[in-house]
């Protein structure tokens, strides 16, 4: 029986993780659950799963919490307590945004396995995260379907066997749109993802292909592969989740109908495989599989993110912060879709990369980038 702490239990990844726990109650138990502000939703989960600890990261403990046998807490330190809970063997980090970095560091330093669904941990603080794992004896296992696919393809291989990693992208809702159409795209358009059901922020990141840039940076740290050997390709059917090309020309791919539950289960049970009831893969039903290049001219946020990864230091944190600010303003209707990449580009230019030797370095770069991106939006669309 493994104890599991789920950071972000009320979000889409958190709900999928709880569905996985439901299928294997003899193998996994929820020992800590957290939510950002969704107190009532977390209270319902506390009644059902009876964790030792429930945390509201940014808000008040909900009324009625004392009706559960669970200890309740709120705030930043309580979130870190959940990430280092003594009964947690696995910490599934499904937090959204740069706020996920500090809990990842804390869990790794405490020797936990971190099932990582928070892209920003490695994007903003990749070197810090890998060092925390080395120091504390913690373990990183990816939850993103693309990186889970790579991990599965790499089993039994040596580092020298790998020539190239190929990360697939659905292309998002704007695949095939012209520049004129993109200029008029609305948040409602961007939120209509063709294959995945995700939260608003991640769905917009998919629409800009910024999420693929984040995944390239993650893959660099997770698998120790340089950027020149990591590529992204559009695969609209989302059946092949990633591919690994070996030095002998063989290409391994991990396939399946889109679901987050399979990579979550693999991250919890790795390297063991457990049975799971889900939609079985049918190659005939899957039909024709197609691939297209990433259109950098239509989706400049992708190239900006990969270049930030190549620069290293605080550049990826600046990229991510500017992106988060721009996405927020796009969702509010204040910024047009092309303005997301424009805000990122100007922020990267005005916030040059510096060394990222500590969490404080990253947090300061993040704050500076957010101010710069806000200034860009204010000039473009004053209130």
Place of tokens 């600046």: 318
C-alpha torsion 6→7→13→14, nearest 10? 50
Q: Within its chain, how far is the Cα of 88 from the centroid?
A: 21
Tokens matching residue 163:
């020539």
Assign 354 a pLDDT band (cuts: 50, 70, 90): very high
Bond prior to 271 in cis (omega within 30° of 0): yes
d(CA 141, CA 22): 21
C-alpha torsion 198→202→204→208, nearest 10? -120
- pLDDT digits 0-9 by tens, 209-231: 999 999 999 999 999 999 999 99
Assign 97 a pLDDT band (cuts: 50, 70, 90): confident
Interacting residues of 25 by C-beta distance below 8 A, sequence separation 6+:
none
Place of tokens 């509010």: 332
Sheet with 162-169, strands from edge to edge, namely 230-234, 162-169, 240-246, 251-255
- pLDDT digits 0-9 by tens, 41-94: 999 999 999 999 999 999 999 999 999 999 999 999 999 999 999 999 999 999
- pLDDT digits 0-9 by tens, 263-282: 999 999 999 999 998 888 99
Domains recognised in the chain with CATH numbers: 2-142 (3.40.50.720)
d(CA 295, CA 113): 36
Task: Name the nearest CA neighbour of 5 among 117, 98, 147.
Answer: 117
Q: What is the sign of the dihedral through the CA atoms of 217, 124, 81 and 131?
A: positive
pTM, two decimal places? 0.93
């Amino acid at each position: 029986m493994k104890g599991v702490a789920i950071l972000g239990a009320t979000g889409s990844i958190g709900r999928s993780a709880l569905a996985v726990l439901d299928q294997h109650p003899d193998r996994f138990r929820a020992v800590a659950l957290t939510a950002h502000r969704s107190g009532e939703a977390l209270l319902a989960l506390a009644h059902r799963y009876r964790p030792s600890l429930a945390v509201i990261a940014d808000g008040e403990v909900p009324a009625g919490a004392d009706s559960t046998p669970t200890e309740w807490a709120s705030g930043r330190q309580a979130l870190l307590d959940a990430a280092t809970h003594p009964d947690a063997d696995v910490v599934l980090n499904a937090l959204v945004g740069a706020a996920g970095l500090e809990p990842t560091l804390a869990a790794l330093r405490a020797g936990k396995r971190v099932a990582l669904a928070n892209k920003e941990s490695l994007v903003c603080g990749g070197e810090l995260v890998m060092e925390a794992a080395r120091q504390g004896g913690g373990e990183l296992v990816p939850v993103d379907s693309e990186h889970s696919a790579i991990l599965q393809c790499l089993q039994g291989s040596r580092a020298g066997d790998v020539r190239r990693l190929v990360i697939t992208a659905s292309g998002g809702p704007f695949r095939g749109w012209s520049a004129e159409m993109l200029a008029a795209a609305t948040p409602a358009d961007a939120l209509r993802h063709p294959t995945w059901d995700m939260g608003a922020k991640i769905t917009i990141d998919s629409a800009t292909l910024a999420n693929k840039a984040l995944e390239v940076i993650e893959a660099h740290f997770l698998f120790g592969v340089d950027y020149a050997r990591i590529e992204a390709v559009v695969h609209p059917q989302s059946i092949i989740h990633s591919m690994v090309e070996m030095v002998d020309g063989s290409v391994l791919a991990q396939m399946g109908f889109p679901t987050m539950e399979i990579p979550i289960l693999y991250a919890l049970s790795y390297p063991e495989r457990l049975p799971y009831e889900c939609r079985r893969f049918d190659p005939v039903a899957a039909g024709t599989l197609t691939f297209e290049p990433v259109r950098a001219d239509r989706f400049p946020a992708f190239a900006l993110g990969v270049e930030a990864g190549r620069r290293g230091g605080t550049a990826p944190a600046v990229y991510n912060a500017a992106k988060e600010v721009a996405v927020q303003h796009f969702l509010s209707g204040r910024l047009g879709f092309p303005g997301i990449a424009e805000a990122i580009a100007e922020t990267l230019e005005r916030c040059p990369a510096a060394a990222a030797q500590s969490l404080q370095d990253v947090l300061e770069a993040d704050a500076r980038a957010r101010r710069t991106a806000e200034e860009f939006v204010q000039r473009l669309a004053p209130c």
